[in-house]
Amino acid sequence: MIDIGSLALALGLVLAAYAVVMSLVGALRRRRDLVASAEHAAYAVWGLTVIAVAYLLQLLVTHDFNVEYVAAYSSSTLPLNYTITALWGGQQGSLLFWLLILTSITSVVLLQNRERNRDLMPYVTAVLMIVSVFFLLMLNFITPPFQRLAFTPAEGRDLNPLLQNYWMQIHPPSLYLGYVGCAVPFAFAMAALITGKLGDVWIRTTRRWTLFAWFFLTLGNLFGAEWAYLVLGWGGYWAWDPVENAAFMPWLTCTALLHSVMIQEKKNMLKVWNMVLVILTFLLTIFGTFLTRSGVISSVHSFTQSGLGPFFIGFLALMSALSIGLLVWRLPLLKSENELDSLISRESTFLFNNLVLVGIAFAVFWGTVFPVISEAVRGVKITVGPPFFNKVNAPLGLILLFLTGVGPLIAWRRAGWKSIQRNLLPPLAVGFVSGVVMVGAGMRSYWALIAFPTGIFVLTGIVMEYYRGVRARQAVVGENPLRALFRLIAKNRRRYGGYIIHVGVVMAFFAITGTSIFKQEKQITVSVGQSFPMGSYTLRYEGIEQQSTPHIDYLRAKVAVLENGKQVDLLKPEKRFYKKPQQPTTEVAIRSTLGADLYTVLGSFDQDTKLATLQVYINPLVSFLWYGGLVMALGTAIVIWPGGVKSREPAYAPRRAGERVVAD
């Protein structure tokens, strides 16, 4: 007997295909009724997906272990919150969850555009539903989530203990929201190409969606990093694993896009480039899902293993061919209406920023797929590890950081020497002086001596911009500084929110520099009572604590943290031994301060000799990454917040434009 979930997915596939065909036919024949019918079908697909998801959740919560998925990823003792997150703990559930987000977003887009963009919408619907069809095909034929077993196991195999973590509850949803969000600008871009309405309507319509996607991609990456940091226990947060790269690449191209659309809006340039970025970002999200779900790269025996691989490759090829074909067909209509005025201008800074971002994305892509390429070309699988990514991306990242500082300070069109003197030189001087101070304080690492002063240069520039904006308002409107600051941001959220995002980016750079250059690491085997120095601390091993529950055996090392001879903390890094499935997990213990994290791991414990092996790290500035992420989120929220004064600076307004803002 067919269950309601499978039925919903089968019906969903039919309706999604129907929506694709009807919206295209409706658009070509100018039949509003068909277009409307297609949209209704799209809503119905959403409803059916909700039913399928609800059904899977019900199976999980009621512990129906006859269902393969439930038996594989949950157990009767798994806490409720993790039972629910088991929805995306495995392959089938993840894909179903992807589809849920995609169809939800599709419905929101349709609702938003009931009265708007009617000429574009049929194609938007068609493109989004093509993606739905793809996921529904997988869910129906390759990875059906509701497969039943021939017998009913008494107990499930449980969710991997490593995934039983707070950050793993919010990391996948954020990332998927980011991934799927990128499909919206893509769909509008395709619609614009097909209809030939290539003005900036599609860009304006999708600006918020691009930001939305970027917001969640940022959070998704950060939550993943936080999870890796807390759970994997190797002292770091980023290892250039293919799965991480998969999430990072679309973030890079999306960041590039957010900057380059500004040039199209203001100067009607870069139309082709923006199309390329939209297409690239979307393809990278699909590629990312593919990398994560199929394990092509990390498994040595290539991807014939899962039927998913060829299917994804096929879809990627199809979408690339379609989108690039459309782009080439419309090239004549995508002529730039302007030219670059000068190399020393904000436009060209943005262009270089774009090149660097795409360059980084390319390097990451190349490093990630290198094993596959080398196998195809030379017959041997060769892999490049983290050193490759660090070597390539460190210089590129620093160029990017520098451009982050230059961009907002340099004039549009052409920056004269006067304006450079006035805007760029002061923060550059501050950065330089900070570098001299750091040398004086004994810092000798070249990388750090480039990264920190550059970051300080960027921050100074931002503070200066705020200061000038506030002063201008005070002079003109006579507000008090706080109110002026508030109004300044409210009146031009896009600009001043953007600056806040930049502050977050600088903080992240500080964290990355701190952890990659000044990290200290020590592995030590200690007996009870033994102490050893670590950074400015002295650590003393105080013995082991053992605890046993029906599900987990605990082994906890007690490590006293002393500073200047006084105990300031007691850390308890822990090893857990889950009994079912039998698997140990490492629970790190961290003493976190703004300056640095003291990160301790219990490596092993020997029952006979009572010796414990500890792995200890000092991670300077790592907390700046998490706070920087918060700052970026805050900045994005300011930019994206609906309503308010929708204001844009005229393209060539004078620089102190605080008051000269005009509404569109």
Partner 1 sequence: MTRKKRFLIGAALLVGAVTYLVYAGVRESSVYYLTIDEFLHKKATLVDEGVRVAGRVKDGSVAKKTSPTGTELQFVLTDFNKSDGVKVFYTGILPDMFAEGRDVIVEGKYARDGILRAQSVMTSCPSKYEAEADKTGAGGPAS
Site for partner 1, residues 114 to 143, rule: CB under 8 A: none
Closer to partner 1 by Cβ: residue 342 or 445 = 342
Can residue 544 be called a binding residue for partner 1 (CB under 8 A)? Answer: no
Shortest distance, CB of residue 576 to partner 1, whole angstroms?
Answer: 9
Q: Annotate each residue in 402-441 with x if it binds partner 1 (CB under 8 A) or - if it does not, as one string.
A: ----------------------------------------
Do the Cβ atoms of 535 and 596 come closer than 8 Å?
A: yes
Tell me which of 304, 549, 564, 609 binds partner 1, using CB under 8 A.
609
Residue 355 binding partner 1, by CB under 8 A: yes
SS (H, E, C) 491-540: HCHHHHHHHHHHHHHHHHHHHHHHHHHCCEEEEEEECCCCEEEECCEEEE
Binding-site size for partner 1 (CB under 8 A) equals 73
Distance CA 55, CA 68 (A): 14
As a dihedral over the C-alpha atoms of residue 144, residue 147, residue 153, residue 158, rounded to 10 degrees, the angle is 20
Asked if 554 interacts with partner 1 (CB under 8 A), we say: no
The DSSP symbol for 67 reads B
Task: Give the one residue of 1, 380, 441, 663 binding partner 1; rule: CB under 8 A.
Answer: 380
Closest CB to partner 1 among 92 and 117?
Answer: 92
DSSP secondary structure code for residue 142 in this structure: I
201 binds partner 1 (CB under 8 A): no
Q: How far is CA 97 from CA 11, 148, 429, in A?
A: 17, 19, 51
Residue 57 near residue 100, CB atoms below 8 Å: no
- Is the CB of residue 87 less than 8 Å from the CB of residue 56? yes
CB of 230 to partner 1, least distance (A): 13
Q: Which amino acid is at 72?
A: A
Enter the tokens of residue 141: 């034929």
Nearest distance from residue 507's CB to partner 1, in Å? 25
Does 173 contact partner 1 by CB under 8 A?
no
Smallest distance from the beta carbon of 388 to partner 1, in angstroms? 4
Residue span binding partner 1 (CB under 8 A) among the ranges 28-36, 48-56, 395-403, 624-632: 395-403
For residue 167, the minimal CB distance to partner 1 (Å) is 13
CA-CA-CA-CA dihedral for 267, 269, 270, 275, to nearest 10: 90
* CA proximity to 253, closest of 355, 369, 391: 355
Among 352, 452, 499, 599, binds partner 1 (CB under 8 A): 352
With binding defined as CB under 8 A, does residue 305 bind partner 1? yes
Q: Specify the DSSP class assigned to residue 140.
A: I
Least distance in Å: CB of 302 to partner 1?
A: 11
Q: 302-308: which pairs have CB atoms within 8 A and are 24 or more residues apart? A: 302/372, 302/375, 307/142, 308/91, 308/138, 308/142, 308/143
- Rank residues 208 and 580 by Cβ distance to partner 1 and give the closer one: 580
Answer for which of 84, 313, 611, 653 binds partner 1 (CB under 8 A) is 611
- Smaller CB distance to partner 1: residue 161 or 427? 161
Residues 412, 652 contacting (CB under 8 angstroms): yes
Q: Of residues 89, 250, 469, 514, which one binds partner 1 by CB under 8 A?
A: 89
Instruction: Select the residue interacting with partner 1 from 21, 162, 272, 560 (CB under 8 A).
Output: 162
Go through 105-142 and write b for each residue having 16 or more CB atoms within 10 A of its CB, e for each that does not: bbbebbeebeeebeebbbbbbbbbbbbbbbbbebbeeb
Site for partner 1 in 321-350 (CB under 8 A): 339-343, 348
Smallest distance from the beta carbon of 427 to partner 1, in angstroms? 22
The dihedral sign for the CA sequence 348, 350, 351, 352: positive
Q: Is 554 exposed, middle or buried (0-12, 13-18, 19+ CB in 10 A)?
A: middle
Which of 210, 423, 585, 619 is the binder for partner 1 (CB under 8 A)? 585
- First and final CA of the chain: distance in angstroms? 59
Report yes or no: 215 and 640 within 8 Å, Cβ to Cβ.
Answer: yes
Site for partner 1 in 2-41 (CB under 8 A): none
Candidate residues 130, 356, 449, 500; the one interacting with partner 1 per rule CB under 8 A: 356
When binding is defined by CB under 8 A, the residue of 124, 601, 621, 625 that contacts partner 1 is 601
Q: Does 232 bind partner 1 (CB under 8 A)?
A: yes
- In the list 58, 81, 546, 604, the residue contacting partner 1 (rule: CB under 8 A) is 604
The Cα 373–Cα 291 span in angstroms is 15
Q: Is 572 in the site for partner 1 (CB under 8 A)?
A: no
Determine contact, residues 503/511, Cβ cutoff 8 Å.
Answer: no
Q: Is 362 near partner 1 (CB under 8 A)? A: yes
Q: Is 398 near partner 1 (CB under 8 A)?
A: no
Select the residue interacting with partner 1 from 62, 298, 546, 547 (CB under 8 A).
298
Write down the least CB distance from residue 580 to partner 1, Å. 6
Please say which residue, 123 or 167, places its beta carbon nearer to partner 1.
Answer: 167
- Using the rule CB under 8 A, give the single segment among 113-121, 202-210, 508-516, 598-606 that binds partner 1: 598-606
Q: Are 611 and 525 in contact (CB under 8 A)?
A: yes
Minimum CB distance to partner 1 smaller for 586 or for 636: 586
The region of 318-326, 390-398, 426-434, 476-484 touching partner 1 under the rule CB under 8 A is 390-398
Please enumerate in sequence order all residues whose Cβ is within 8 A of that of 469, keeping only pairs 6 or more positions apart, or say none. Answer: 484, 485, 488, 496, 658
The reply to whether 383 sits near partner 1 by the rule CB under 8 A is yes
Stretch that binds partner 1, among 85-93, 270-278, 591-599, 655-663 (CB under 8 A): 85-93
Residues 452-471 that bind partner 1 (CB under 8 A): none
DSSP state of 148: B
Least distance between partner 1 and beta carbon 367 (Å): 7
The distance of closest approach from Cβ of residue 294 to partner 1 in the complex, given in angstroms and rounded to an integer, is 9
Q: How far is the CB of 292 from partner 1 (least distance, A)?
A: 6
Contact present, 164 and 82 (Cβ < 8 Å)? yes
The 3 state secondary structure assigned to 631-648 is: HHHHHHHHHHCCCCCCEE
